[in-house]
Amino acid sequence: MDNHRRQFLRAAAGLAALAQQALAQKNRPGGIPTRRLGRTNEQVSILALGGAHFGRAAGQDKAAAFRMLHTAIDEGVNFLDNAWMYGDGTAEEFMGEGLQGGWRKKVFLMTKNSGRDETFSKQCLEDSLRRLRTDHLDLWQFHETNYDNDPDWVFEKGGLKYALQAQQEGKVRYIGFTGHKDPRIHNKMLDKPYDWATAQMPINVMDRFYRSFQSDTVPLCLAKDVGVIGMKTLGGGPRESKIVTDTQVTAEQCVRFALSRPVSAISRGWLTMEQLQADLKIARDFQPLSAEEEAAILTLARPEAGDGRHELFKSTRVFDGPIYRKMHGLPVEGDSL
C-alpha cells in the first residue's frame, strides 16, 4: 500500500469518527434528543423551530402559533431559529412576544444578520434584540452568504468586526453564518481567519446529487468543530414538499435522512400543530438510518435529482432575499417565487 493510500484511509477513518461524534445525542425519556453544537459545547435539540414559518403562522392566528411554540418548548425543542428579514421583522416580533412570561430562559435563541458592513450589522442587531425582547442572542449568524464576494465583504466591510464587538459586550454569545447557494462559498467562509461556531446549510435527500453540502462542506465543518445546522429538509419555501409529491420519498424519510447526517440540528418549519407533532414523534424515537435504509431512500430520490429542480435555492435566484439582490446590484423584482 503506497503512502498516499495510507493517508487517504487515515483521513477517511478520522472523518468517520468525527461524524459519529457529531451524531452522538443525549436522550431524555419522552423528550427530544439533544446534540452538541460544535465548538460551543451547547446541547441543542435536534429539531429547531423555524422562524419564517412561525412568523407566517402567527400572522394568520397568533394564539395558535403561540400554543405551538410553547408546546414545542415543553416537548424539549430548545433551539429557535429566526432572521432579521423574515416577514419584514414580524417573525422576530411575534417570537419575542411569544417568549414573554419566562419562556425566553428555556431556549437557545438564534437569529440572523442581513448586514455585511459594520453600520448595517449594528442596525440589524439592535432591531433583533428589540423585536425579540431580549438583551442577548445565543447565536447570531450572517444570513444568506450566497454570493462569491460575501465572505470577503463580511471581513473587509466590518461585519465580523462589529459581531465580535457585540460578543465582547455580551449581546451575542456565538457567531456563525448561513447560505443555501453553493458549498464553495461556505468553504470560503470556513477558510477565513475566524473560528465560526456554526454553519447552516441545506441538508436533504437531493443534496447528495447536486452541489452537495453534505459531501463538500460538512466534512470541513467536522474537521474544524463547526456546528452544522441543516435546513430545507423538504426543499424549502412555497415549493416545500415537492420532494415528497414528486418522488416516492415520504416526509418522514426526508426528516430521518437529514437527522442521520452529522448535524447538530435541523431547522423545521411548522405552520400547524399537526406538523409539529409529526416531527416530534420522529425525533422522540429517532435512530439513524441503517445503510440499507439510506440506500433505499437515495434510490427513490435519484431519478428526480442531479439538476437542481427540487433545490431552486441552489439552481436559481428565486430564494435569494431582495435585500441581498439589491446589495449585489441585481434586480429585486422577477425571478422569484
- For residue range 128-162, list pLDDT tens digits in order: 999 999 999 999 999 999 999 999 999 999 999 99
Single-letter amino acid code for the residue at 184: R
Provide, for the chain, the percentages of residues in helix, strand and coil under a 3-state DSSP scheme, each rounded to the nearest 5. 50, 15, 35
Looking from the CA of 68 toward its CB, the CA atoms found within 13 Å total: 30
pLDDT in tens, 308-329: 888 989 998 888 999 999 999 9
CA 170/CA 148 separation, integer angstroms: 31
Residue 275's contacts (CB-CB under 8 Å, 6 or more residues apart) are: none
For residues 196 and 175, the answer to whether their CB atoms sit within 8 Å is yes
Question: Which three-class secondary structure state does DSSP give residue 15?
Answer: helix
Instruction: Give the number of domains in the chain.
Output: 1
Residue 245 is predicted with a pLDDT of 80
Instruction: Judge whether 321 lies within some domain.
Output: yes
Q: What is the dihedral of CA 178, 216, 253, 38, to 10 degrees?
A: -50
Higher pLDDT, 186 or 306: 186
Q: Decide if 26 is inside a domain.
A: no
Q: What is the mean pLDDT of the chain?
A: 93
Mean pLDDT check: name the lowest of 7-16, 94-103, 178-187.
Answer: 7-16
Question: What predicted TM-score, i.e. pTM, was given to this entire model?
Answer: 0.94
Mean pLDDT computed over 232-258: 84
19 vs 22, 216, 282, CA distance in Å? Answer: 5, 14, 21
Q: Is residue 299 part of a domain?
A: yes
For 216-233, b where at least 16 C-beta lie within 10 A, e where not — what string? Answer: ebbbebbeebbbbbbbbb
Here the cell at position 9 is 484511509
How many Cβ atoms are within 10 Å of 13's Cβ, its own excluded? 10
Domain limits at 48?
32-327
Pick from 17-31, 167-181, 224-238 the range whose average pLDDT is largest: 167-181
Give the highest mean pLDDT range of 6-15, 82-91, 241-250.
Answer: 82-91
Tell whether the model's pLDDT for residue 90 goes beyond 70: yes
pLDDT tier at 27, thresholds 50, 70, 90:
confident
Q: What is the mean pLDDT of residues 279-302?
A: 96
pLDDT at residue 294 greater than cutoff 80? yes
3-state secondary structure of 74: helix
pLDDT category of residue 28 using cuts at 50, 70 and 90: confident
pLDDT at 214: 98
300 within some domain? yes
Proportion of the chain above pLDDT 70, given as a percent: 93
| 114 within domain boundaries | yes
Torsion of CA 281, 229, 235, 268, to 10 degrees: 40
Decide if 113 is inside a domain. yes
CATH (domain of 258)? 3.20.20.100
Amino acid at 308: G
In a domain, 23, yes or no: no
| Least confident among 151-165, 176-190, 277-291, 312-326 | 312-326
The answer to whether position 197 is within a domain reads yes
Looking at per-residue pLDDT, the higher value among 277 and 16 belongs to: 277
Grid coordinates standing for 49? 423551530
For residue 237, the model assigns a pLDDT of 60
pLDDT of residue 337: 47
Q: How far is the C-alpha of 193 from the C-alpha of 84, rounded, in Å? A: 25
- At 289, the amino acid letter reads L
The pLDDT of 71-81, averaged and rounded, is 98
40-65: average pLDDT: 98
Query: Which three cell numbers, joined as nine digits, stand for 203?
Result: 441538508
